[in-house]
Structure 1
Amino acid sequence: MNDTQVRPTTHQLDDRLEIHELLSRYYVAVDEHDADAWVALWTEEGVFDSGYLHLEGRAQLHQFMAGHDVQTRHLVTNIRTEVRGDRALAESYMLVVPRVGKPEVVATANCRSELLKVDGRWKLARHTYKPDPSFVPPSSPSG
């Protein structure tokens, strides 16, 4: 660390850790098909956007996740966070591998999560999922 870098405070480190844990819980809930746990991570007006799917509010989020039955493991990596008061930005990579069979990567994406602190806890306000060009979901027009 050089003289121009500032060490994060304990409070900032606590915020970053909570955000990392939130992202881990997010993907575990997806893999376990736990719509209630997944939706609990969002603000009331939360927005999910993947370019081919746009959801707004907990009702739409819950409806989507309740019908989202995947047989995969989602792995979140390279999480970078920036906390500014009660707002935060987290950027990460996401990899998907199958639960059974050969453990090969079936999809990758860049993710951008905008978070708000609500009642002392971090919640997702907007999560943008941008699949890499190697992955085109079956339900998309070009898939």
Structure 2
Amino acid sequence: MAGLPDQTALQKVIDRLEIAEMQNRYMYALDWNDADVYAGLFVADGEMEWPEGRARGHSEIHDACVRIGAYFGRIAAAAAPTKASHLRHFVTNQVIDIQGDTARARAYWFDLDNDNKPRWPYVAGYGYYEDDLVRTAEGWRFTRRLIVNEMTGVSRPENPCW
């Protein structure tokens, strides 16, 4: 009979799953324009940076989510056929480095949209995230999220994944 699993290694596996799930909840909050959940995935003084701006703290991050949702809504309304449009974000290739109660993560993201008249899906954007995280009483939360949009912005020349 094998011995008990290494508790430190087991905790790292649990942490990786919790962080990946939090990153996925972020995507759902973005796509359903749920600004409360979106902002709640950051610590109180967390920071989010993307090519079009920067937000710090729950209130600014919440307002940024509302503005982003309104922007996507205007694009969809301009094409307005008979069926609704849907924007869906995806996160892939997650690499997570956990050091006790802090972590850093890198992941690719892309989004599919169908905000055109025939409602055909297309890749509307892609890039990667650079995340700094901390374990809180509520679970893992972003302290900083850098969103690099490689369709509209410039990515760094070196590998962002250490």
- Pairwise TM-score range, normalised by the shorter structure: 0.7 to 0.9
The superposition leaves residues 51-91 of structure 1 with CA deviations (integer Å, 9 ceiling, x where unpaired) of 33111111101111123223511111101101000100110
Give the CA deviation at 1:99. Answer: 4.5
1:64 aligns with 2:29: no
Q: Which residue identity lines up with residue 11 of structure 1 in the other structure?
A: Q
Q: Secondary structure at the match of 2:122?
A: coil
Give the CA deviation at 1:38. Answer: 0.8
- Aligned equivalents of 1:28 and 1:59: distance in 2? 19
Q: Which residue identity lines up with residue 104 of structure 2 in the other structure?
A: L
1:21 aligns with 2:38: no
Q: Which residue of 2 aligns with 1:81?
A: 96
- Aligned equivalents of 1:57 and 1:34: distance in 2? 16
Counterparts of 1:87-102 in structure 2 under 5 Å? 87-99=102-114, 101-102=119-120
Q: Which residue of 2 aligns with 1:107?
A: 125
- Aligned equivalents of 1:60 and 1:83: distance in 2? 27
Task: Give unmatched runs, 5+ long, in structure 2.
Answer: 1-7, 73-85, 154-162
- Aligned equivalents of 2:30 and 2:138: distance in 1? 24
The superposition leaves residues 88-128 of structure 1 with CA deviations (integer Å, 9 ceiling, x where unpaired) of 01100110111452222111011111100112610000000
Q: Which residue of 2 aligns with 1:130?
A: 148
Q: How many residues align?
A: 128
Moved more, 109-118 or 98-107: 98-107
Moved over 2 A (4+): none
* Higher radius of gyration, 1 or 2: 2
Task: Give unmatched runs, 5+ long, in structure 1.
Answer: 1-7, 137-143
User: Scaled by the length of structure 2, what TM-score is found?
Assistant: 0.74
1:9 aligns with 2:9: yes
User: Scaled by the length of structure 1, what TM-score is found?
Assistant: 0.83
Q: Secondary structure at the match of 1:48?
A: strand
Q: Which residue of 2 aligns with 1:31?
A: 31
Q: For the Cα contact (< 8 Å) 2:104–2:133, is it kept in 1?
A: yes
- Aligned equivalents of 1:114 and 1:82: distance in 2? 10
